[in-house]
Amino acid sequence: MTSTRPYLIRALYEWIEDNSMTPHILVDADQPGVTVPKQHVREGQIILNINPAAVRDLRLGNDWIEFNARFGGVARNVQIPISAVLAIYARENGQGMAFGEEKTGDDEPPTGAPQPDEPPAKPTRRKPTLKIVK
């Protein structure tokens, strides 16, 4: 299945905007493909304001977040793989969502899930019983 992360990011972005707040994203700037101004990165992370008043041409895609913004008066093109987004939240109250590491399709199935070569267990059925109710 595809990742839920881009869908959640778009939904939370819209929710934050609908509540007249400022959407910010926390990004892991050390991930491959992240294009952000390195001078604003702190401890491998950067917080970006993605409010429509702060960015131009915002695209919240399934694989990438892309926009143009000014940093210190200099226009920059920003590109962030969806997997590098660690959180999206409202600046004013901190409400939003943090994301953990996503499992890839190569990861092991959850504990208790049937293994691919293992036939599913047959459900045990109990015979119906009748009781006399007076």
- CATH code of the domain covering residue 17: 2.30.30.220
Q: How far apart are the C-alpha atoms of 121 and 23, rounded to whole Å?
A: 47
Q: Residue 86 has which token pair? A: 């660690």
Q: Please compute, for residue 25, the number of CA atoms within 13 A of its CA located in the half-sphere on the CB side.
A: 30
Strand ranges (E), 7-49:
23-28, 45-49
46: containing domain: 5-93
Domain count, the chain: 1
27 in a domain, yes or no?
yes
Phi/psi of residue 111, each to 5°? -60, 135
Residue-level pLDDT, tens digit, the chain, 134 residues = 889 999 999 999 999 999 999 999 999 999 999 999 999 999 999 999 999 999 999 999 999 999 999 998 999 999 999 999 999 999 999 999 999 876 655 445 455 555 555 555 556 666 666 667 76
104 in a domain, yes or no?
no
Helix, coil or strand: residue 38:
helix
What pTM was estimated for this model as a whole? 0.74
84 in a domain, yes or no?
yes
